[in-house]
C-alpha cells in the first residue's frame, strides 16, 4: 500500500487542593506518631495464651492460602483443558503475547469480564488473534454484487484441517448477515451446535456437535449477505461521472490490513494462507476481474453472466481482490509472456499508456533483480475512482487511485508523472516482497512496505535512469523518516500490534520510509551485490510462505560470509528495527584524533511528562551499531568506521581542514560537529559548494536546521550556512532548504521576526528564480525544481513571479491559453490567492468538468489558497459532501486550507465541529485520521494552541490517530521551547545581516 527543545510540560496541573490535603492527612495518620499516650494500647498476655493465639492465626492464614490456591477465578486466558468443556466456559488460549492478559499492571491476578456475543451469551474465545490450531487450505467463493440495489450476496466454502482435535473454530467476520452453516468431511455431515459473533474482535465462533479430528479435511459452507457501502474498505461501492454527466457505479475491494472479513467470512490473518477460487455474477454491461484469469463464462439469463476464475496460488486473505465495473483496458505482454493490462473508464483510457509502459518494463526488471519469474499469468492495474489508500498490491490485480496511475503528457506535470511511476513500481515490487513472501504478522509490516519503498526507486531508475531516483531518495524517504522518528511518540520498526486500529496506526512513515532508509544503509555497508544475492535467497527460501525479520537477517548474514564480508547482519540491524529512534553522532577533533560519540536524538526533553517516551523499552539502551562514513577535503573517497553500541576514536591526516560525515546521507543518523568544524564546512560551501555532492549539501542543511530546532546548535549557524544557496542550482539541496525555510516560517508565524526572516529567504531565492525562469525545459530534475522555486517565491511575495503567474492565469481563464502542466500549480494558486470569487468559481467549475485526475488534484490544492474566509469555509463544507469532494480527498482540502494563514483557525474549528462525522468516516482507516489530525494542526505553535488541542483530544476518541495526536503535541511544544530560547538571537542575526538592496520590487503581498 504512504520544532524541538527542552522545558516544562504544558499539561494542566491544577488539582483540587482539598483532595491533596485529604491524601496528606491519611498518610500522616498511617505513618506519624500521634504523641497522645491515651491512644497507645498495650496487650499483655501469658506465654501459653500467646502460643494458642499464634497457632490459631497460622491455621487461618493456611486456610486462606489453600482457598486462594485451589479457587478458579474467571479470567480471559483459560487453560487447555477448558477447550472441550461446556460452551459457556472460556476457551481462549494464550498465543504468546497475543491473548488478553490475566494479570494486572502490578503482576497480581485480576478478574476480567468475559466478552459478550451479539446474542448476550458469553463469547468463549478471548484472544484478538485466531486459534493457531486451524490450517485453512482453500476457499471457494461465489459472489453476486448487485449494482442496482448495492447489495452483495454470496457463499463461501472453506476447506481446512486441524492440528489437534477440537470442537470449535473461530473465523473473522464483520458487518455481514450469515446463514446456512454447513460442515462436512467426505460424505459425513457434522452438525453445527452453536454460532456466536463478538463484534469488538470481529470474530465468529462456531461450535460443532462432534469433536473434529486432527489432519482431517473439513469443508465449511456459509451463506452471507452484505451492503456495498461507501466506506472505501472491504467490498465497497465506487462511482464516476462521464463527461455527459451520467453516474456509473462499480464494486471494488480493499482488504489490507483487516478488511477481507467485510466481504466474506475468513481466517483473516496474513500467516493463514490458502488458495482461492472465485465465481462472480454480473450484468452484461459489466466485466469482472479477479487475481487470476477467467477460466470460463456462462450465461445465466438475458442479462446475467457468471465468470469462473482459475485457482490462485497460496496467498493471504488481504491480497484477494475482485472488481465489477464497465472499465476498458489496454494490454501488453512482458518478455516472460505475462499479460499486463491497465483498466480505466472509457474516457480516461488514453491516459493509461504510461502506466502500461512502466508496468511492463519493471516486471521484466524485477524478474531479473529478484531471480524469480513473476509467478502469475497476468498483472492487471486498475484505476479506482474512490480509493482510500494510494494503491494496493493485490496479487495479480493491483488497484490505484486515478491520480496514481493515469497521466497525460499534455496535462500532467513531471512531478506527478514521476509519482505515478514510483507508485506502480512500489506495488509491483510487492508482488515479490509481500505477496510471494509475506510477513508472519503485522508487527513486521516493514518487511513488506520498507522493501517496496526502497525497491520502487530501483525499479523507477530502470524505467527512467535520467531521473536520478537514488539522489532523490533522501528527500522522499530518509529526511521525512528522521523527522518523525525523532519524536518520543514514534515506534520501533518492528512493533507489537494486535487489534485492527493498532495495526492501522503503523501504516506510517516509520514502516515505509524508515524501513526503506535502513535498507539503503544496509546496502551501503553490505554492498549491492551481496544484498541482491541475499534477497534472491530469501525469496526462494520463503516463497508462498511467511517470514519474520530475523529470517531475512539470517539469510543476509550467511550471504555476507559467502561474499567474504562476514558481518553479523542480525546483530547490527536489530539495533535499528527493535528500538525506536536513531542516534546523534557528536564529533570532536583534537589534532589528528577524531572521537565520535553516540546518543539518542530525541525532540523535546519534556516528552516524559506526556507518558510517551517510556512506551517502548530498549534492551540496547538506545545504542546502535552505526556505520559512520566520512570524506575530507583531502579525499572524496568515503571511509567507514563502526560505532558498535558505543563510541569510536580514529585518526585523520593532521592537515585535514574539514570532514563531512554520513556520506550522501546513506546512514540513518544525524551528525553534530564542533563550532569550528561547522564554520569550516560553511566556508567550504561558500567557496566551492561542488566539493560536496548535491546529496551531501542537502544533508548538511538538513542536520544544521534540525539540530538548531532542537536547541543543540546555535540557530544562526544554519542561517549562515544557507547563504551559500545564492550559488546553488541543484534540485536536492534546494528542496531540502525549502522544507527548512517553511518549518522555520511556521514556527515564527505571528512573531515580530517573521518579516525579516522572509526578506532573508527571498534574498536567497533571487538568483535561483532568475535561473529557472518560466520555460518548462531542461533536465528532469530542473523541471522538478522550477515549480517548487516559483511557488515558494510567490509565497514569499516576489512581485515579478506573482505578476507573471497572474498574467498566465488570466490568459488561461479568458482565452483558454494552455499553461505548461508543471507550472499549473503555481499559476492556479496565485490566480486564486489574488483573484476574485469569480476566479475561484471558474477553477471550481473546471475541477468538476475535467476528466484528467492529475488536473483535478492540482486544482484541489489550489482552491484552498483563497483569502476570502467565506470561500474557505464553503470549501471546507464541500470536503464532507460526497457529491462535491470524494472522501479520499477530504484531508487534502483540510491540509491546503490549514496551510493558508487565513484558513488555519477556520480549519481547526471545522475539524472540531465535525469530529464525529470525520471519526465515523475515517477513524479506522490507515493514514486518513492521522493525516487529518496532523494537517489541520500543523501551523500551531503557541502555548494556547497546545492546551486547546490537548484538551480536545483528551476528551475525544481519535480512532487510528493516537500516534498522530502525540506527535502533534510534541511538535507544538518543541516550537514553543525553540521560540523561548532562540527568537531574540535569530532576530538580532537577521537585523545584522539584512540587505535592503533587494533587486526586485519590495515585498508587498505576503
Do strands 304-309 and 545-547 pair parallel, antiparallel, or not at all (unpaired)? unpaired
635: phi then psi, degrees, rounded to nearest 5: -155, 125
Q: How many CB atoms lie within 10 A of CB 326?
A: 15
Q: Is the pLDDT of residue 39 over 70?
A: no
Tell me the C-alpha distance between 821 and 776, whole Å: 9
For 793, the 3-state DSSP assignment is helix
Is the preceding peptide bond at 257 cis, omega within 30 degrees of 0?
A: yes
Residue with cell 490462485: 312
**Mean pLDDT confidence for 696-705:** 98
- Alpha-carbon distances of 913 from 430, 816, 874, 906, rounded to whole Å: 40, 40, 14, 10
pLDDT at 606: 44
Q: How many Cα neighbours within 13 Å face the side chain of 271? A: 16
More confident residue, 92 or 518: 518
Specify whether 427 is catalytic: yes
Which of the 8 DSSP states describes residue 514? I
More confident residue, 548 or 926: 548
The per-residue pLDDT of the chain, averaged, comes to 87
Q: Which of 302, 370, 387, 499 is nearest to 886 (CA)?
A: 387
Tell me the C-alpha distance between 143 and 151, whole Å: 10
pLDDT at 959: 80
pLDDT at 59: 54
For 819, the 3-state DSSP assignment is coil
Do strands 397-401 and 391-392 pair parallel, antiparallel, or not at all (unpaired)? antiparallel
- Write the pLDDT tens digit of every residue in 846-900: 999 999 999 999 999 999 999 999 999 999 999 999 999 998 899 899 999 999 9
- 61-75, 172-186, 279-293, 934-948: the lowest-pLDDT one: 61-75
Q: Which residues contact 770 (CB under 8 A, 6 or more apart)?
A: none
Q: Which residues contact 490 (CB under 8 A, 6 or more apart)?
A: 484, 510, 580, 581, 963, 967
- 26-30, 193-197, 371-375: the lowest-pLDDT one: 26-30
Residue 1 confidence class, pLDDT cut points 50, 70, 90: confident
Could you tell me what percent of the chain has a pLDDT over 70?
A: 86
pLDDT at 78: 28
pLDDT at 56: 53
**Mean pLDDT confidence for 12-35:** 31
**Mean pLDDT confidence for 835-844:** 98
Q: Is the pLDDT of residue 87 over 60?
A: no
Residue 699 confidence class, pLDDT cut points 50, 70, 90: very high
Instruction: Tell me the residue length of the chain.
Output: 1006
- Specify whether the CB–CB gap between 832 and 840 falls below 8 A: yes
Query: C-alpha cell of 565?
Result: 564480508
Residue 923 confidence class, pLDDT cut points 50, 70, 90: low
H or E segment and range at residue 739: helix 731-747
Catalytic residue among 393, 427, 559, 728: 427
Q: Is the pLDDT of residue 966 over 80?
A: yes
Q: What's the CA angle centered on 344, arms 338 and 347, to 5 degrees?
A: 135
- Write the pLDDT tens digit of every residue in 629-654: 999 999 999 999 999 999 999 999 98
Q: Is the pLDDT of residue 168 over 90?
A: yes
Provide the greatest CA pair distance for the chain.
114
For 275, the 3-state DSSP assignment is strand
Q: Is the pLDDT of residue 55 over 60?
A: no
**Mean pLDDT confidence for 910-925:** 84
Q: How many Cα neighbours within 13 Å face the side chain of 967? A: 23
- 34-48, 141-155, 509-523: the lowest-pLDDT one: 34-48
- Write the pLDDT tens digit of every residue in 343-399: 999 999 999 999 999 999 999 999 999 999 999 999 999 999 999 888 999 999 999
Tell me the C-alpha distance between 509 and 517, whole Å: 11
Q: Is the pLDDT of residue 5 over 60?
A: no
Q: What's the CA angle centered on 434, arms 430 and 435, to 5 degrees?
A: 85
Residue 996 confidence class, pLDDT cut points 50, 70, 90: low
Q: Which of 826, 841, 902, 906 is nearest to 868 (CA)?
A: 902
Q: Which residues contact 920 (CB under 8 A, 6 or more apart)?
A: none
* pTM higher than the cut 0.85: yes
pLDDT at 314: 98
More confident residue, 998 or 162: 162
Tell me the C-alpha distance between 890 and 904, whole Å: 16
**Mean pLDDT confidence for 182-208:** 97
pLDDT at 230: 87
Q: Which residues contact 890 (CB under 8 A, 6 or more apart)?
A: 879, 880, 918, 921, 922, 928, 932
- Alpha-carbon distances of 631 from 162, 640, 644, 648, rounded to whole Å: 59, 9, 20, 17
Residue 40 confidence class, pLDDT cut points 50, 70, 90: very low
Tell me the C-alpha distance between 462 and 363, whole Å: 11
- Packed helices 780-795 and 731-747: angle between N→C axes, nearest 10 degrees: 20
More confident residue, 551 or 564: 551
Amino acid at each position: 500500500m504512504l520544532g524541538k527543545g527542552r522545558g516544562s510540560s504544558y499539561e494542566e496541573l491544577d488539582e483540587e487542593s482539598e483532595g491533596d490535603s485529604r491524601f496528606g492527612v491519611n498518610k500522616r495518620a498511617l505513618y506519624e506518631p500521634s504523641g497522645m499516650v491515651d491512644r497507645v494500647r498495650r496487650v499483655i498476655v501469658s506465654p501459653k495464651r500467646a502460643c494458642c493465639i499464634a497457632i490459631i492465626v497460622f491455621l487461618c492464614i493456611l486456610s486462606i492460602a489453600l482457598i486462594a490456591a485451589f479457587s478458579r477465578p474467571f479470567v480471559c486466558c483459560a487453560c487447555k483443558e477448558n477447550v472441550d468443556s461446556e460452551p459457556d466456559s472460556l476457551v481462549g488460549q494464550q498465543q504468546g503475547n497475543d491473548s488478553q492478559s490475566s494479570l494486572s499492571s502490578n503482576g497480581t491476578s485480576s478478574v476480567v469480564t468475559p466478552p459478550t456475543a451479539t446474542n448476550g451469551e458469553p463469547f468463549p474465545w478471548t484472544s484478538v488473534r485466531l486459534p493457531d490450531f486451524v490450517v485453512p487450505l482453500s476457499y471457494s467463493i461465489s459472489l453476486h454484487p448487485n449494482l442496482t440495489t448495492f447489495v452483495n450476496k454470496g457463499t463461501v466454502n472453506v476447506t481446512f484441517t486441524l492440528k489437534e482435535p477440537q470442537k470449535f473454530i473461530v473465523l473473522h467476520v464483520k458487518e455481514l448477515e450469515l446463514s446456512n452453516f454447513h460442515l462436512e468431511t467426505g460424505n459425513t455431515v457434522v452438525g453445527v451446535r452453536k454460532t456466536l459473533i463478538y463484534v469488538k474482535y470481529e470474530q465468529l465462533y462456531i461450535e460443532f456437535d462432534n469433536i473434529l479430528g486432527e489432519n482431517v479435511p473439513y469443508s465449511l459452507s456459509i451463506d452471507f449477505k452484505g451492503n456495498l457501502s461507501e466506506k472505501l474498505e472491504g467490498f465497497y461501492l465506487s462511482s464516476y461521472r462521464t463527461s455527459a454527466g451520467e453516474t456509473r457505479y462499480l464494486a471494488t475491494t480493499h482488504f489490507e490490513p483487516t478488511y477481507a472479513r467485510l466481504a466474506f467470512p475468513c481466517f483473516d490473518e496474513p500467516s493463514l494462507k490458502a488458495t482461492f477460487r472465485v465465481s462472480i455474477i454480473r450484468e452484461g454491461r459489466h466485466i469482472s476481474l479477479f487475481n487470476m484469469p477467467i477460466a470460463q463464462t456462462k450465461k445465466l439469463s438475458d442479462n446475467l453472466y457468471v465468470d469462473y476464475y482459475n485457482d490462485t496460488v497460496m496467498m493471504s486473505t488481504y491480497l484477494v481482490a475482485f472488481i465489477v465495473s464497465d472499465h476498458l483496458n489496454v494490454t501488453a505482454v512482458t518478455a516472460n509472456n505475462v499479460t499486463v493490462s491497465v483498466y480505466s473508464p472509457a474516457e480516461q483510457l488514453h491516459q493509461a499508456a504510461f502506466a502500461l509502459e512502466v508496468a511492463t518494463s519493471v516486471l521484466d526488471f524485477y524478474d531479473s533483480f529478484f531471480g524469480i519469474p513473476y509467478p502469475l499469468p497476468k498483472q492487471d492495474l486498475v484505476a479506482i475512482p474512490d480509493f482510500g489508500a494510494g494503491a494496493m498490491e493485490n496479487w495479480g490485480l493491483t488497484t490505484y487511485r486515478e491520480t496514481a496511475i493515469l497521466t497525460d503528457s499534455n496535462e500532467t506535470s513531471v512531478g506527478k508523472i514521476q509519482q505515478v511511476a514510483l507508485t506502480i513500481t512500489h506495488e509491483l515490487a510487492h508482488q515479490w516482497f509481500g505477496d510471494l513472501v509475506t510477513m508472519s504478522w503485522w508487527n513486521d509490516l516493514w518487511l513488506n512496505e520498507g522493501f517496496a519503498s526502497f525497491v520502487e526507486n530501483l525499479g523507477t531508475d530502470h524505467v527512467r535512469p535520467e531521473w536520478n531516483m537514488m539522489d532523490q531518495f533522501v528527500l522522499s524517504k530518509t529526511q521525512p523518516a528522521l523527522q518523525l522518528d525523532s519524536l518520543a511518540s514514534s515506534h520501533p520498526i518492528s512493533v507489537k500490534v494486535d487489534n485492527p486500529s493498532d495495526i492501522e496506526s503503523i501504516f506510517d512513515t516509520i514502516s515505509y520510509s524508515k524501513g526503506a532508509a535502513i535498507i539503503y544503509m544496509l546496502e551501503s555497508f553490505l554492498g549491492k551485490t551481496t544484498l541482491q544475492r541475499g534477497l534472491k535467497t530469501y525469496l526462494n527460501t520463503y516463497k508462498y510462505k511467511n517470514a519474520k525479520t530475523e529470517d531475512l537477517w539470517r539469510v543476509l548474514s550467511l550471504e555476507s560470509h559467502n561474499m567474504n564480508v562476514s558481518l553479523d547482519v542480525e546483530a547490527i540491524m536489530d539495533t535499528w528495527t527493535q528500538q525506536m529512534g536513531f542516534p546523534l553522532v557528536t564529533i570532536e577533533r583534537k589534532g589528528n584524533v577524531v572521537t565520535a560519540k553516540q546518543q539518542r536524538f530525541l525532540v523535546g526533553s519534556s516528552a516524559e511528562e506526556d507518558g510517551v517516551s517510556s512506551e517502548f523499552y530498549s534492551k540496547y539502551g538506545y545504542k546502535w551499531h552505526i556505520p559512520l562514513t566520512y570524506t575530507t577535503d583531502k579525499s572524496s573517497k568515503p571511509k567507514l568506521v563502526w560505532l558498535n553500541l558505543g563510541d569510536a576514536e580514529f585518526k585523520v591526516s593532521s592537515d585535514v581542514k574539514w570532514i563531512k560525515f554520513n556520506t550522501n546521507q546513506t546512514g540513518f543518523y544525524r551528525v553534530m560537529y564542533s563550532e569550528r568544524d561547522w564554520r569550516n564546512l560553511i566556508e567550504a560551501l561558500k567557496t566551492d559548494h561542488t566539493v560536496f555532492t548535491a546529496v551531501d549539501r542537502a544533508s548538511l542543511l538538513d542536520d544544521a536546521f534540525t539540530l538548531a530546532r532542537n536547541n543543540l546548535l546555535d540557530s544562526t549557524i544554519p542561517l549562515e550556512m544557507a547563504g551559500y544557496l545564492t550559488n546553488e542550482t541543484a534540485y536536492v539541496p534546494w528542496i531540502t532548504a525549502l522544507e527548512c525555510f517553511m518549518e522555520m516560517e511556521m514556527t515564527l508565524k505571528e512573531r515580530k521576526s517573521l518579516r525579516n526572516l522572509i526578506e532573508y529567504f527571498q534574498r536567497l531565492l533571487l538568483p535561483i528564480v532568475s535561473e529557472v525562469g518560466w520555460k518548462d525545459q531542461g533536465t528532469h530534475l530542473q523541471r522538478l525544481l522550477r515549480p517548487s522555486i516559483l511557488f515558494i517565491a510567490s509565497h514569499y511575495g516576489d512581485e515579478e513571479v506573482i505578476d507573471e503567474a497572474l498574467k498566465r492565469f488570466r490568459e488561461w481563464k479568458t482565452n483558454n491559453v494552455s499553461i505548461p502542466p508543471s507550472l499549473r500549480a503555481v499559476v492556479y494558486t496565485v490566480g486564486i490567492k489574488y483573484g476574485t470569487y469569480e476566479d475561484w468559481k471558474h477553477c471550481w467549475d473546471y475541477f468538476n468538468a475535467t476528466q484528467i485526475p492529475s488536473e483535478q488534484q492540482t486544482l484541489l490544492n489550489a482552491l484552498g489558497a483563497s483569502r476570502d474566509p467565506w470561500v474557505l469555509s464553503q470549501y471546507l463544507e464541500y470536503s464532507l459532501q460526497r457529491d462535491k469532494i470524494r472522501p479520499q480527498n477530504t484531508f487534502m482540502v483540510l491540509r491546503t486550507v490549514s496551510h493558508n494563514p487565513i484558513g488555519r483557525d477556520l480549519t481547526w474549528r471545522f475539524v472540531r465541529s465535525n469530529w464525529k462525522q470525520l471519526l465515523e468516516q475515517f477513524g479506522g482507516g490507515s493514514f486518513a485520521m492521522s493525516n487529518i489530525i496532523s494537517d489541520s494542526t500543523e501551523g500551531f505553535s503557541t502555548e494556547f494552541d497546545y492546551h486547546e488541542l490537548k484538551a480536545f483530544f483528551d476528551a475525544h476518541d481519535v480512532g487510528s490517530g493516537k500516534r498522530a495526536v502525540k506527535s502533534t503535541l510534541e511538535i507544538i511544544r518543541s516550537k514553543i521551547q525553540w521560540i523561548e530560547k532562540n527568537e531574540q538571537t535569530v532576530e538580532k542575526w537577521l537585523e545584522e545581516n539584512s540587505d535592503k538592496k533587494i533587486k526586485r520590487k519590495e515585498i508587498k503581498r505576503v
